[in-house]
Chains A and B, each alone.
Chain A
């Protein structure tokens, strides 16, 4: 009876070791099970992690503009609304509306609010962001003294704080790149940081 030598068998084994074949299943089979188990999140695409680069870019630009607006208003630069209205009551008339809506819709202290869907929670988050922006505008227009605005220490402290927040949120995004809350904080912080640096430059401050 003939036999391969050990060496010849080793050659065949080496060839087998290097051989790869098509996967045993199709991806859609694996994906269907993963989706059933909740390992794949979202339907055709996760709400906050679209595979469409242009959609992600558009969302990023939108949030960046919002962040810049917050930054500009909180450091006292005129906003588009303020410029168009040409009157301080343009901002001053907004707060009662905001306060009214805040008291009736989203007072977290008195609320026993519970969400029943991701969409509902997302809508609430969007509303909260808008109210935050309104509140920031109001405070920027009414609650910061001229003396404080001109203080280099004030801007230094703000810039340092924004740097820390930016670093922290950047770090968090490494772990949770699609987290909507962290993304909003990150982009708002970046916007505020840009505006702060612009203000520093305008005011002739140095050392940033």
Chain B
């Protein structure tokens, strides 16, 4: 059932059923971005609760200028990054980002190999994962990522380049194991 304006008003008024409909419709996507940014399911579950509380608190301020999902998604990203920052994961990353030599983790250790991109992302440093998720999955620009993370646009590009390079290595086994990503080809380095 689509979440219409009447449901929105009911949710603002504290109607539990309307709030549950909102949550049911958007939680799969909202929680997915939280999970990707966190990389840790338990932490993601805790932060997701905070995210939804913040969405419900902020409902009266939603003016309908954008799709509700887009609006809620922004809250999810901001809240998650704030939470991660509080636990000093992002703070550590921000130092790493300024040091271009810090992440050259092109390990050849294939025991480190992940089975899927979801698992491979967990192998990235928190900052590299945040940049990769925001840019390649959520569609943020480097400028927007810079604002969110408090880094420069160039730092975001650099971090993304390294994240993608690492993922290409971590996921190499998929080329050998799965026909879905066959067609090995030379590929090309995407503009980042």
Contact = CB atoms under 8 A, between A and B. Distances in A.
Q: For chain A, what secondary structure do more than half of its interface residues adopt (helix, strand, loop), or is it mixed?
A: loop
Which of A2, A24, A38, A45 has the most chain B CB within a 10 Å cutoff?
A: A24
Contact of B14 (A12, A13, A39, A174): A39
A37 B169 CA distance: 46
Contacts of A13: 117, 136-137
Interface stretch (A25-33, A55-63, A119-127, A137-145): A25-33
Given A8-B175, A12-B174, A21 B49 contact: no
Contacts of B136: 13
Q: For chain B, what secondary structure do more than half of its interface residues adopt (helix, strand, loop), or is it mixed?
A: helix
A174 to B, nearest CB: 7
Contacts of B31: 21, 23-25
B181 A12 contact: yes
Interface in B169-186: 169, 171-172, 174-176, 180-181, 183-186
B70 interface: no
B100 interface: no
Given A6-B188, A51-B17, A30 B45 contact: no
B14 A33 contact: no
Given A5-B185, A34-B53, 18 more contacts: A1-B108, A4-B167, A4-B181, A6-B168, A6-B187, A6-B189, A12-B174, A16-B117, A21-B28, A23-B28, A24-B34, A25-B45, A25-B49, A33-B49, A34-B56, A41-B14, A41-B15, A42-B16
Kindly list the 5 A-B residue pairs having the minimum CB-CB distance in the complex, ordered from nearest.
A5-B187, A41-B14, A23-B27, A20-B28, A24-B48
